[in-house]
Structure 1
Amino acid sequence: MPPGVAVCFSSLFIRLVCMAFLTSSDKALWHLALPMIFSNITVPLLGLVDTAVIGHLDSPVYLGGVAVGATATSFLFMLLLFLRMSTTGLTAQAYGAKNPQALARTLVQPLLLALGAGALIALLRTPIIDLALHIVGGSEAVLEQARRFLEIRWLSAPASLANLVLLGWLLGVQYARAPVILLVVGNILNIVLDVWLVMGLHMNVQGAALATVIAEYATLLIGLLMVRKILKLRGISGEMLKTAWRGNFRRLLALNRDIMLRSLLLQLCFGAITVLG
């Protein structure tokens, strides 16, 4: 199990045990916090599903390639987890202030940032993959399968990063069920497509990657529908959204810089455990 998933599940178990001793105020807080824990395991869990299905193929090379690819993907996307964290905080402030214009801004600005970063990753994925595989190392056969996996998997970068923003925004407006719904739907779809593309159509690692890409974009569509519902309830018009990209973008970048540094150090720790262990 990837380190990130293990940490999240152990943390979740401890908190569930402690729930029996919490006050009503504490429970209300955890009602919002627990879905955030679920949302944190989305990226590594998708890789875990791919690994489980590929493990049934006849060669360990496929499994090794997907494992390397899933690790690189988890490192990169978890590094950009600041998109969700900063969006949640800024959205909660705007929600508490009952400011529709600010709510629109906390959705549009991070979403533009996520789509821009995702597009860059997708466009520049080949040199980034070269660097990642050079750092990870391994046999030539395994690295070739990892490359095939990542060339398709990272096409989902715009959707994956946009999903982080949507999760953060929905949590900020206290729509606590959203992460659970998106996590369950996305992973069920990923499992079904994995089995069909890998086992049925014999697409091997490319099938596993394509299944995750489709699941990510489907999750994005569902998330946008949820956001649309909240926008109507909060009286946020299309005109507000059109002008929401303006404003103090520097504040958002400064906040994301600090959280990204924290995420980088955390991922380096997980990477060191994997390499040294």
Structure 2
Amino acid sequence: MGKNTTNDMTQGNCMRLLVQFFLPILAGNLFQQLYSFADSMVVGKGIGDTALAAVGNTSSVHFLIIGFAIGLTGGLGICISQSFGSGNYEKLRKELAMSVWICLAIGIVITVVSLAFMRQLFTFLHTPEDLMTETLQYFGTILAGTTITIFNNFAMTLLRSVGNSRVPLVAMIISAIANVLMDLLFVFPLHMGVFGAALATVLAQVLSALYCCYYIGREKNLIPKKTDWKPQSVIIKRLTLKGLPVAVMNSVTAVGGMVLQTFVNNMGTSYVAAYAACTKILSLFEQPANTVGLALLTFVGQNYGAGKKERIRTGIREGVILTILINIPLALMLLCIPEFLTSFMLNDTSIISYTRDFLAVTGICLFPLGWLFVFRNGCQGMGHTFVPMLSGVLEVSLRVVMVKLLTPYLAFRGVALAEVSAWIGAWIMLMITYWIYQERTDSFR
């Protein structure tokens, strides 16, 4: 990696820098999502629709728990990118060391608490009894690897924060390929069921983390000195205050997903399977716009650290344009061939038919979802993480209210409308917030 370990985004053409940084992240995220899609195919076709429903039933809870940890590492990356943008490597190394301690502590706490209460949580979500055993088996294995997942995400966040999106790309490609191969091995010839699918995920995370750490270790500017590892309460507090709102935002948003999952669970196993397939498709299709947001997080963070306000404005504007161009073909696919997409995971034609309206509704609203990612990451990159956290609360509120109002009359389509109402509401809130922040001269150094 050597000379290409870091990338200064405070100089040069904004659109070119965004695209160059964005493409490797997108490729990596797509590999990760394609793995998830392939994992669903292996589970659905190799084990059955019920097993796919059991795995899909864990998605909102998984985002609640793992999303908290991923949000935390993303928040830690904000401070690191700002320190890199200002050229303060001594501060960066101390922040990195304290971030490692924070990740270790959070990983241990999440693992212990989650394993202790996961049965009660899935019971609270009205998980159908015929799904409970496989749900707990799958999710318990995933939770056992929580600390590994946290460190893997932090390693990739660290590299992206200093402008390197290529090593995380290779790490995710390696992880995705290994994941699919282990999936096929564990599920088919070894007949390990959902436990095998979960174990493959954890082991793939180990490979990714080791690969990233190897390259981080080759960059002297990123390696903390022995004295940097001594716990420093001031730095830990500052990092936590930046990272915690992002983590809480992810978890609060996940609560809204859990509410939707509860309503779907009450509709029966067939709808749970259809919803699992739909969420897998959406996770794949939202990645390009989400990746634009991640690129902007680093771009805005570095330019905020350098005090370059006009470059931030330009970057956000061009990020909006990128999401529009990207989402046009994706929205058309969700509108025109939804059943074809879900048929790769599902077997029953009646279950496949349930996915048509859901994907059509969410496909139309991919555009405001993309703008939501742009403005949320823009605000966070400037170090303002509190209002984006509140946007997560707004998303939950809209999901809860709309799903209660609409599902009695529109059933599964009502769940889709509740989802997109949350996207639109949060986008409007964050767009207004960004405009306010970027007009404040005291928001910039």
Q: Which bin holds the TM-score, normalised by the shorter protein?
A: 0.7 to 0.9
State how 1:90-105 maps to structure 2 within 5 Å.
Answer: 90-105=79-94
**Is contact 1:115-1:159 (8 Å) kept?**
no
Q: What is the aligned partner in structure 1 of residue 212 from structure 2?
A: 223
CA shift, 1:106, in A, is 2.4
User: For 1:136-191, what per-residue CA distance to the aligned partner results, in whole angstroms no more than 9, with x for missing partners?
Assistant: 32321211100011111111100111122111111111112123222211111110
User: For 1:220-274, what per-residue CA distance to the aligned partner results, in whole angstroms no more than 9, with x for missing partners?
Assistant: 11111121122x2x27454254347564211111112322333234333444455
Gaps of 5+ in 2: 1-11, 264-402, 404-414, 416-445
DSSP-derived class of the 1:55 partner: helix
Q: What is the aligned partner in structure 1 of residue 248 from structure 2?
A: 261
CA-based RMSD of the aligned residues comes to 2.7
CA shift, 1:36, in A, is 5.2
**Is contact 2:111-2:144 (8 Å) kept?**
yes
**Is contact 1:119-1:158 (8 Å) kept?**
yes
Q: After the TM superposition, which of the residue ranges 264-273 and 247-256 deviates more from structure 2?
A: 264-273
Change (3 A) 1:31 1:83: farther
DSSP-derived class of the 2:87 partner: coil
Q: For residue 153 of structure 1, what is the amino acid of its counterpart?
A: I
DSSP-derived class of the 1:26 partner: helix
User: For 1:78-102, what per-residue CA distance to the aligned partner results, in whole angstroms no more than 9, with x for missing partners?
Assistant: 2333223222221112212333322
Q: Does residue 1:55 correspond to 2:62, yes or no?
A: no
User: For 1:174-215, what per-residue CA distance to the aligned partner results, in whole angstroms no more than 9, with x for missing partners?
Assistant: 112123222211111110111001112100011011111111
CA shift, 1:122, in A, is 2.2
CA shift, 1:58, in A, is 4.6
Q: Does residue 1:144 correspond to 2:126, yes or no?
A: no
**Is contact 1:43-1:78 (8 Å) kept?**
no
Aligned equivalents of 2:199, 2:250: Cα separation in 1: 27
**One of 226, 231, 234 as aligned partner of 1:239:** 226
Q: What is the aligned partner in structure 1 of residue 110 from structure 2?
A: 121
Q: Does residue 1:72 correspond to 2:95, yes or no?
A: no
- Give the number of aligned pairs: 253
**Is contact 1:84-1:168 (8 Å) kept?**
yes
User: For 1:24-68, what per-residue CA distance to the aligned partner results, in whole angstroms no more than 9, with x for missing partners?
Assistant: 322213433455566777886665443221112354332222122
Q: What is the aligned partner in structure 2 of residue 252 from structure 1?
A: 239
Gaps of 5+ in 1: 1-22
Q: What is the aligned partner in structure 1 of residue 122 from structure 2?
A: 133
Q: For residue 210 of structure 2, what is the amino acid of its counterpart?
A: L
Aligned equivalents of 1:165, 1:266: Cα separation in 2: 21
Per the normalisation by structure 1, the TM-score is 0.79
Q: What is the aligned partner in structure 2 of residue 172 from structure 1?
A: 161
Change (3 A) 1:215 1:149: same
**One of 195, 201, 210 as aligned partner of 2:190:** 201
Per the normalisation by structure 2, the TM-score is 0.51
Q: For residue 104 of structure 1, what is the amino acid of its counterpart?
A: R
Aligned equivalents of 2:103, 2:222: Cα separation in 1: 24
**Is contact 1:82-1:263 (8 Å) kept?**
yes
Change (3 A) 1:105 1:46: farther
Percent identity over the alignment is 18
Change (3 A) 1:24 1:96: closer
Aligned equivalents of 1:34, 1:268: Cα separation in 2: 31
Change (3 A) 1:114 1:229: same
Q: What is the aligned partner in structure 2 of residue 188 from structure 1?
A: 177
Aligned equivalents of 1:38, 1:71: Cα separation in 2: 24
Q: For residue 68 of structure 2, what is the amino acid of its counterpart?
A: L
Aligned equivalents of 1:162, 1:259: Cα separation in 2: 17
Aligned equivalents of 2:216, 2:48: Cα separation in 1: 43
Aligned equivalents of 1:123, 1:235: Cα separation in 2: 31
Aligned equivalents of 2:194, 2:208: Cα separation in 1: 21
Aligned equivalents of 1:110, 1:271: Cα separation in 2: 29
Q: What is the aligned partner in structure 2 of residue 16 from structure 1?
A: none
User: For 1:86-140, what per-residue CA distance to the aligned partner results, in whole angstroms no more than 9, with x for missing partners?
Assistant: 2222111221233332222222222221222112222233333123312332321
